[in-house]
Every structure is written in structure tokens, then in C-alpha cells.
Amino acid sequence: MSNKRSDFLWIVQMIMIKHKDSIVGWSGVAGDAVAASYAIPIDRTARDAALDFCGVLVEGFDGDEKAPVPDWMVNLSEPTN
């Protein structure tokens, strides 16, 4: 696993634990995090990607309004290999 993917997943995990009461469908969000880890654009850091991800999927993470879904997070899927 690349360092960027590992760092992304670690950051997302820590945010999810901290905001555990604000997450509906933990297993779905965790699966989306894995899929998102494969889609992080080259020009995004693991930290910025994790903040993007949590802004969309963790209720209240970015304040009262839900963050818009970044282009790189549309149609997430994991590689089959």
C-alpha cells in the first residue's frame, strides 16, 4: 500500500473515531474510505484528501453545511485486483 493511501486511511480513521456519533453507516463510510484511497489525485496530499472525504461523509465535520463532493470522489469504486 502506498504511503499516501496509508496516511489517508489513518487520518480518516482518527477523524471517524473522534466524530463517531456523527457517522451514519460506519461500515459503508469505512468502505468508501478504502475506495477513496485508490482515487486520491496526484496533486492532493493525504491530509487534504482526508479532509475532503470527512467534510462530505462525517456529519457536521465542516460546520453546519455539508461540503460539496469533490470531483475525485464521484463514482468511487475499489480495484478488483
- Give residue-wise pLDDT tens across range 45-70: 999 999 999 999 888 887 777 788 99
pLDDT of residue 12: 96
- Which pLDDT band holds residue 79 (cuts at 50, 70, 90)? confident
φ and ψ at residue 80, rounded to 5 degrees: -85, -10
* Dihedral, 26, 75, 1, 46 alpha carbons, nearest 10: -80
Reduced to 3 states (helix: H, G, I; strand: E, B; else coil), residue 70 is: coil
Cell numbers for 39: 482515487
| Residues 47, 7 contacting (CB under 8 angstroms) | yes
**pTM, rounded to two decimals:** 0.87
Q: Please report the pLDDT score of residue 16 as a whole number.
A: 92
Banded pLDDT at 1 (limits 50, 70, 90): low
- Output DSSP code: residue 71: G
C-beta separation of 52 from 44 below 8 A = yes
- Whether 39 has a pLDDT exceeding 80, the answer reads yes
